[in-house]
Amino acid sequence: MRVTKRVLAVAAIALGAAMLYLWGHFDGRNGTAPDLVQEAVAAETPAKPSPTKARERDVYYPNSEDLGRDEMRVIACGTGMPTTRAAQAAACFLVELGNGDKFIFDIGSGSAERLSSLQIPYDYLDKVFIGHLHGDHFGSLGELFIGGGIMGRHNPLRVWGPSGPTKELGTAYAIESMRRMYTWDLAGRAGMIDFRGFRIEINEFDYKGENAIIYEENGVTIRSFPAVHAIDGPVSFSLEWNDLKFVFSSDSYPNKWFIEYARDADLVVHECFIAVPSLVQKMKFTPESALTVGTQIHTAPEAFGKIMAEVKPRMAVAYHFFKDFDTTAEVHDRIRTVYDGPLSLAEDFMVWNVTKDDIRVRMAVVEEATWAPPPATETKNPNPDDRSTFSKNSGVPVEAIGYSDFIEGGVWDEVDEVLRGVYKEASEKLGQEFKYPKD
């Protein structure tokens, strides 16, 4: 039996070689038969991996790869739903360009910690575009605002978002209210650290703009167009740079603007909601609300497929569903009933490297216990004036900054002895006099 198999194997190899020989001669393109055999052998036997040298891995380790000058890198920093879960933050996509610019599209609940895992200096994470004001699309803005300001952002945080049918339903109202919510937080930091990053620039634009330019700097053009979602106000975005186009739906029901303005883009990210049966089984929706939410407010997997079949991107990206072992196949199969093009079912830390020639999809492997990366600009000493100017700068009334006599009277002086030691240690080590505040 064994002999017979060996004979057959030898015969098969001989036949294969003969066919390669004939093909090489009759085809005329590929040189001689020995070349072909050598190429085939080379393809099947990769170079022996070195036991000591680094090898190519099919993952992305943040802060370990240069971004090509013509390259766009997109990282999913939130792909989930309004209900928070450790496995998936809510909507957030980071776009990094070879010219050095970086843009955040939506910053849903939990996504700021995903951004921190990428070890990017916070001055470079200063541009946020919000598609609509559901919490799962901007719930982490406050964390980026406060945490980024502490961790080295010295620029103002710049935020773009749509107007609404009334002033109170617009982005400016939401962000100003958020800043007001942080009145105590800001008053409690002013004058103690470099305070320059605790400023917000708000850029509210007309939600009815159709492919309207809302940002144009450094060769990058970002446009907005209306989305259909919940009530008036939501928008979708396109970003164009270097002949590459990224499109982000935020949330939307299928609409004519998306079909027109996302057409033929390179990377098209569109919401794709959990399938209706899962809404009933997993989220305990009634069939009536599952059908309404899953097909009328959001984009059902089948509708996502229909959109992509029309838009024909180089890569379609579906997000906004809990991507589990028992939901992924269902979403995928429903999309595939209508769309057979390139497809990524997004999860947090999925990475797309986009060039004119290629779109490479990988997962990032991240360090969870990250510290702040080195700041892009020098950190300055705190400015005591920030305490007194805080109320003027913020427009928020603050009666008094500092402690009342009552709280001051609770200070336990006996700790001075050990804390003086810390000041002394710093003075000696750094060769500079640091005076203990009470002396």
Residues that bind Zn ion (CB under 5 A): 134, 136, 251
For 23, 142, 282, the CA distances from 292, given in Å and listed in that order, are 60, 31, 16
Considering the complex, what minimum distance in angstroms separates the CB of residue 82 from Zn ion? 6
CB atoms within 10 A of CB 391: 18
Considering the complex, what minimum distance in angstroms separates the CB of residue 144 from Zn ion? 18
Alpha helices in 61-207 (DSSP H): 111-117, 135-138, 141-150, 171-181, 183-187
- Report the residue number, 190 or 262, with the smaller CB distance to Zn ion: 262
Contact between residue 88 and residue 52 where contact means Cβ atoms under 8 Å apart? no
Considering the complex, what minimum distance in angstroms separates the CB of residue 321 from Zn ion? 11
Residue (of 381, 389, 254) closest to 310 by Cα position: 254
Considering the complex, what minimum distance in angstroms separates the CB of residue 367 from Zn ion? 28
Angstrom distance (rounded) from CA 135 to CA 285: 20
Q: How do 359-364 and 157-162 pair as beta strands? A: unpaired
Residue (of 242, 261, 268) closest to 356 by Cα position: 242
> What are the strands of the beta sheet with 235-241, ordered from one edge?
212-217, 220-226, 235-241, 244-248, 267-271, 315-319, 343-345
Angstrom distance (rounded) from CA 223 to CA 98: 20
Considering the complex, what minimum distance in angstroms separates the CB of residue 298 from Zn ion? 7
- Report the residue number, 111 or 394, with the smaller CB distance to Zn ion: 111
Tokens of 52: 């000591």
- Report the residue number, 194 or 251, with the smaller CB distance to Zn ion: 251
Burial of residue 328, with CB atoms counted within 10 A of its CB: 0-12 exposed, 13-18 middle, 19 or more buried? middle
- Report the residue number, 244 or 276, with the smaller CB distance to Zn ion: 276
Considering the complex, what minimum distance in angstroms separates the CB of residue 132 from Zn ion? 6
Considering the complex, what minimum distance in angstroms separates the CB of residue 137 from Zn ion? 6
CB atoms within 10 A of CB 248: 27
Positive/negative CA dihedral, 284, 287, 290, 293: negative
Considering the complex, what minimum distance in angstroms separates the CB of residue 260 from Zn ion? 22
Considering the complex, what minimum distance in angstroms separates the CB of residue 138 from Zn ion? 10
CB atoms within 10 A of CB 54: 6
Residue (of 132, 130, 145) closest to 178 by Cα position: 145
Considering the complex, what minimum distance in angstroms separates the CB of residue 90 from Zn ion? 7
Angstrom distance (rounded) from CA 270 to CA 268: 6
Phi-psi domain of 265 (left: phi exceeds 0; alpha: psi -120 through 50; beta: other): beta
- Report the residue number, 273 or 352, with the smaller CB distance to Zn ion: 273
